[in-house]
Structure 1
Amino acid sequence: MFWLKFGLITIIVFVFISTVKLLLRSILKMEKVKKEFFSFNHINELHRKIEKGLRTLSGITLLILSYVLLFYYEDLIYLILIAVIVFIVLDYMIRAFFEWKFTRYPKQSILTVTEMIIILSAIIIVIEFKLLGPY
């Protein structure tokens, strides 16, 4: 049942993000920028280096944090989720900054920030209303 709920919530969030992006593109008169589906889509070399460093830092931090919390502070295990959310926000903000400063389409950063806000809102709603069940 968990995976069915998770899949349904994921599909709803994806459809909502797509709809909001479509509406924002039409309201702000933005043209669609073609991106690969499973690609990093780096803006420039500096963006690639910063994002690679952030991914490395987040991986190491999450491994150490999960080890410490699992073996020493089991009551604080929710801190892993908070760390993941912080790294997601950092990733989206870095992408939005580089889209705003270094591309021909600076309005794309509005879509990136909007997507981040929708994803964070969905995570908070799922946790707050315990939509995936008790935990």
Structure 2
Amino acid sequence: MYDEIVPLIWLKLVLVLCIFGVVLYIFNSMMRKLLKVEKKKFLSYNHINATHKKVDWTIRILIIVCLFVGLFINVQNDFSDGYWFLETYFLLFLFIILSEIATAFMEWKYAENKNAYLFTIFQLLFIVAFLLIMFASDFFGLIKS
């Protein structure tokens, strides 16, 4: 029974993530046209200047350190006694938010196209809303409590 359920959960999860990817792509395309923002390179850092690069890497390094600290602290505790703010999902959520806020600030302050920061903020709000809905709904019912 267990062998039949686990692959089905993974299949549903991959399906939800693929649907999210398509919806995010459509959302980004519409927002780019609306705000007249050029497309960034896929999977690149897109730093505005040297200051942005330093801030971005500082955030990345701090999150990685927190991930390791959280791992060591939460492994020593019972599963129910772990610190929620050191859990991987929370730290990755925090990383996304801090990184995109830093990017939006740097775009607002230094970018040639001033609408770039609006695009980054709308994209961040879309992703955060999706992630909150996913966690609040137990991944749309895929994870049964």
Per the TM superposition, whether the score is higher than 0.5 is yes
**DSSP 3-state at the match of 1:133:** coil
Indicate the RMSD between aligned Cα atoms, in angstroms: 1.9
Structure 2 equivalent of residue 115 of structure 1: 123
Structure 2 equivalent of residue 96 of structure 1: 104
Q: Is the 8 A contact 1:70 1:77 kept in 2?
A: no
Q: Between Structure 1 and Structure 2, whose CA radius of gyration is higher?
A: 2
Q: Which runs of 5+ in 2 are unaligned?
A: 1-7
Provide closer, same or farther for how the CA distance between residues 27 and 11 of structure 1 changes in structure 2, counting only shifts above 3 A.
same
Q: Which runs of 5+ in 1 are unaligned?
A: none
| Equivalent of residue 70 in structure 2, options 56, 62, 65 | 65
User: Which range moves more in the overlay, 59-68 or 75-84?
Assistant: 75-84
Q: Is the 8 A contact 2:108 2:117 kept in 1?
A: yes
Provide closer, same or farther for how the CA distance between residues 134 and 63 of structure 1 changes in structure 2, counting only shifts above 3 A.
farther
Q: How does 1:1-135 map to 2 (within 5 A)?
A: 1-28=8-35, 30=36, 32-75=37-80, 76=82, 78-79=84-85, 80=87, 81-131=89-139, 132-134=142-144
TM-score normalised according to structure 2 size: 0.80
**DSSP 3-state at the match of 2:138:** coil
Q: Offset at 1:52? A: 0.8
Q: Work out the CA distance in 2 between the residues paired with 1:14 and 1:88.
A: 16
> Which letter maps to 2:54?
K
CA deviation string 1:40-80 (max 9, x = no partner): 11111111111111101100011101221122252136431
Q: Offset at 1:116? A: 1.2
After TM superposition, where is structure 1 displaced by more than 6 Å over at least 4 residues in a row?
none
Provide closer, same or farther for how the CA distance between residues 128 and 34 of structure 1 changes in structure 2, counting only shifts above 3 A.
closer
Provide closer, same or farther for how the CA distance between residues 77 and 5 of structure 1 changes in structure 2, counting only shifts above 3 A.
farther
Q: Work out the CA distance in 1 between the residues paired with 2:33 and 2:41.
A: 22
**DSSP 3-state at the match of 1:116:** helix
Identity %: 25
**DSSP 3-state at the match of 2:13:** helix
TM-score normalised according to structure 1 size: 0.85
Q: Work out the CA distance in 2 between the residues paired with 1:40 and 1:2.
A: 33
> Which letter maps to 2:32?
R
